[in-house]
Each structure stands twice: as C-alpha cells, then as structure tokens.
Amino acid sequence: MAERGDREAFVTLATNDTYALGCLVLGNSLRQRAQTTRKLVVMITSGVTQPMRNQLSRVFDMIYDVNLLDSRDAANLQLLGRPDLSVTFTKLHCWRLTMFDKAVFLDADTLVLQNVDELFDREELSAAPDAGWPDCFNSGVFVFRPSEETYDSLLKFAMSQGSFDGGDQGLLNMYFRDWATKDIAKHLPFIYNVVSQAFYSYLPAFTQFKDFVKIVHFIGATKPWHHPYNTATKEVTPLPESGHNKDYLQIWWDIFMTLVQPTLDPSLREQMGGLVGELAALSLQSGVTCGGSQAHLSEQERKLNWERGQVDYLGADKFDNIKQKLDQSMKGPGTEGVDFSSTPFKGTSSSISISVSSKAKAPNPKK
Ligand SMILES: [Mn+2]
C-alpha cells in the first residue's frame, strides 16, 4: 500500500494567507484526525506570503506554485484576455499534478472528520451532489485523474463555453456533463461533502446520519476563521447568519488552536493577531488580488468574490466600512438585530475580536 500511497494525493488550494489557514486545518484534519496514508499537496498562488508558504510546508508534502500569468504556456497566454476566468482556472491546475495517478481535490473550507482514503477507489470524475441543485455535483470535493490532456481540454472547453456560474463548479459540471445520469458509482454519498448548514435544511436526516459524516464543507461567505473564538473557554460562537453547525465549527477551531496556531511562525502571528496585523494583511493583499473597486458588482457577485478570496478592500469592504460595522455591533445590546447582511465582511469583526482576546497589546474595540 505504501507505493500506492505515494502515487495518490489529497490536493487543496490557497489563494491568500487566510485561505492558507483553512488549508493548514484541513491538512491536519487529514493527517492527525483521519490518519490518511496518502500524500498531501497544496496549490498556492502569489497571494500566499513566504512565511505562510513555510508554514504550509510543515503540513503538506508538496507545495505546487500556480503561476496564473505564465507566458510560456500557450493556454495561459489566452487567459490573459480573460481575467474573469483566472480564479476558476486556478483550481483546474490540479489536473497538472501528473506525478500522481489519482487525486482527491478538497476545498480549503472543508474539514475531514474520518478517514476517506477509500475515495481513491473511485474514478474520475466522482463528486457528491450539490445541496442547492442535486443534478449538479459540488466541486468542493472531487476525485480526478491528473492529466495534461484533460487539463488542456478543460482550458479549451472553458475558453469556448465559459462557466454558467462564473466559477469552477459551473465549468466542471458542463465538462463532466453526464455525471448526473451515467454512472451512479461516480456519485459520492453526501457524507463526503456535507454542507455545514445541513442540519438546518433537513434536521431529521442530519440527526439520523450525522455520525456518518466524513467531510464537512463550510460553504458561504462566512468561514470558520471568521467566527469569534474565546480563548478562555475554548469555545467558538456561531454567527447567526453563517448557519454553520456549532459542533463542526468547534472541531475546526479545536484543530486550529491545538495543531496550527501553536506552530505558527512569529511573523505570521503578528500578521494574524491584532487589528494592526489585520490591516497589514489587508493592504498587502489588496495590491495582489484586487485591482480596483467592485462597486459595480451585485451583492451576490461580491459574496462570490469574497468566497474566492477576492475582497474589495479598496471599495465596499474597505476598512472604514468594516470599522463602522464593528462600532455598530459593539454599541448595540448584542449582535442581535444588527444587520450584517449588507456586507460579506461580517465575520471579520469577529476575527478581530478573536485576536483581541488572545493578544493583550491589541487595541480594545470596546473603547
Ligand atoms: Mn468551498
């Protein structure tokens, strides 16, 4: 089995340092909690800083640089004219990991609760139904066979067809269009990609089957790392609007606090802890991922961009707006009644409060 283990890998993707934190928790969940025997690969873009890269190398067997503007690559050259597709295409790079015979892609916002190595017995393209439209698969978890041929074919397809949802899920569902009807073996059971809000949409089923859940997916704009965590009680507080199940959030935070946070490079801790660190990260990332304001985007589009790590730091999500939200929520009797819905940045006020509780030198926003 050792040989096979070397030729098969779990693959994830980080486009910035925040998502890299998700990757670190995911990697630890695979290694420590699920005891996988397979390799761990993280694909990163230029949005990931060097200290975070070092951090990732402690957990992942391989770091794979995805250079979006590699002009030596003809297919990528064509992409230069389609910046709208660049994020979608980032994920497609997983097909270029041809040093592996088979791989399982996992979003950075997933968490593995139990061993899932049996997924490597499945064929390309195996995935679980999307909770919103079950005739489509959710592209947060899928089994695939790395192949340059498939990669080129996917790029060509994307160039000519585009993606019906503007993201990788729409594209992959169009490319693997017979998934819904052709082969039931390619339908992964839902337990391999359970949206963390499932208890809300179908509580009796959740109650009945929750012990079988193997992979949780924190979909939506608010991620586990956006939630307030009390370092004294070691408890996470679910944000009412995120809809994430508290138990799953707690598992994410337990892994983060026990296996990730204590090993973090001090320079990263500076970046992640405290208001100043948050701001430093913001200005740094705005230069890399955001060219300008996203004021023209609809709320839905903005949330999608937020989900992809493209935050409008210079526009709607700029710090003044975040601070305003923060002040509002601090002023009120509680978070209840405060309308967070107008900004996907709602979680950030909470991540700031996390750092406040863990870093004595950070300014107290209650003042
Ligand atoms: Mn996701």
Query: What is the model's pLDDT at position 4?
Result: 83
* Residue 337 CA, distance from chain mean position: 28
> What's the gap in Å between 263 CA and the centre of ligand 1?
25
What does the alpha-carbon distance between residue 156 and residue 365 come to, in Å, rounded to a whole number?
50
> What's the gap in Å between 78 CA and the centre of ligand 1?
27
Question: Hey, what amino acid is at 312?
Answer: D
Q: Helices then strands (H, E): number in the chain? A: 15, 11
- Whether 10 maps to a domain, the answer reads yes
> What's the gap in Å between 15 CA and the centre of ligand 1?
13
Q: Output the six-digit token pair for 363.
A: 């300014």
Query: What is the model's pLDDT at position 173?
Result: 96
- Whether 198 maps to a domain, the answer reads no
- Whether 235 maps to a domain, the answer reads yes
Cα angle 327-341-112, degrees, rounded to a multiple of 5: 105
Based on the fold, state whether residues 185 and 238 are members of the same structural domain: no
- Whether 204 maps to a domain, the answer reads no
> What's the gap in Å between 219 CA and the centre of ligand 1?
5
Based on the fold, state whether residues 255 and 125 are members of the same structural domain: no
- Whether 206 maps to a domain, the answer reads no
> What's the gap in Å between 88 CA and the centre of ligand 1?
13
Query: Which residues are close to ligand 1, an ion, with C-beta < 5 A?
Result: 107, 109, 140
> What's the gap in Å between 208 CA and the centre of ligand 1?
24
| pTM: predicted TM-score of the whole model, two decimal places | 0.74
Q: Which residue has the tokens 């209840």?
A: 336
Query: What is the model's pLDDT at position 261?
Result: 87
> What's the gap in Å between 142 CA and the centre of ligand 1?
12
> What's the gap in Å between 239 CA and the centre of ligand 1?
18
Instruction: Answer yes or no: are the C-beta atoms of 146 and 100 closer than 8 Å.
Output: yes
What does the alpha-carbon distance between residue 191 and residue 356 come to, in Å, rounded to a whole number?
36
Whether the ω angle into residue 125 lies within 30 degrees of 0, i.e. cis, is yes
Task: Show pLDDT as tens, one digit a residue, over the chain (367 residues).
Answer: 457 889 999 999 998 888 999 999 999 999 999 999 999 999 999 889 888 999 999 999 999 998 754 444 555 556 556 656 666 678 999 999 999 999 999 999 999 999 999 999 999 999 999 998 999 999 999 999 999 999 999 988 988 887 888 788 999 999 999 999 999 999 999 999 999 887 778 889 999 999 999 999 999 888 999 899 998 899 999 988 888 999 999 999 999 999 998 888 777 766 654 322 332 332 223 322 222 223 333 454 455 555 545 455 545 555 566 566 666 656 654 433 333 333 333 333 333 333 333 333 333 333 3
Q: Which residue has the tokens 């890269």?
A: 53
> What's the gap in Å between 231 CA and the centre of ligand 1?
26
> What's the gap in Å between 48 CA and the centre of ligand 1?
18
Q: Which helix (H) or strand (E) holds 3?
A: helix 2-6
Instruction: Answer yes or no: are the C-beta atoms of 116 and 192 closer than 8 Å.
Output: yes
Query: What is the model's pLDDT at position 118?
Result: 98
> What's the gap in Å between 167 CA and the centre of ligand 1?
11
- Whether 261 maps to a domain, the answer reads yes
Based on the fold, state whether residues 167 and 270 are members of the same structural domain: no
Query: What is the model's pLDDT at position 167?
Result: 83
Dihedral in degrees, nearest 10, Cα atoms 345, 274, 217, 162: 50
Query: What is the model's pLDDT at position 287?
Result: 27
- Whether 199 maps to a domain, the answer reads no
Tally of structural domains, the chain = 2
> What's the gap in Å between 131 CA and the centre of ligand 1?
13
Based on the fold, state whether residues 32 and 158 are members of the same structural domain: yes
Query: What is the model's pLDDT at position 366?
Result: 34
> What's the gap in Å between 163 CA and the centre of ligand 1?
17
> What's the gap in Å between 363 CA and the centre of ligand 1?
32
> What's the gap in Å between 232 CA and the centre of ligand 1?
30
Based on the fold, state whether residues 21 and 114 are members of the same structural domain: yes
> What's the gap in Å between 139 CA and the centre of ligand 1?
8
> What's the gap in Å between 1 CA and the centre of ligand 1?
30
Based on the fold, state whether residues 46 and 172 are members of the same structural domain: yes
Domain that holds residue 317: 220-358
> What's the gap in Å between 362 CA and the centre of ligand 1?
31
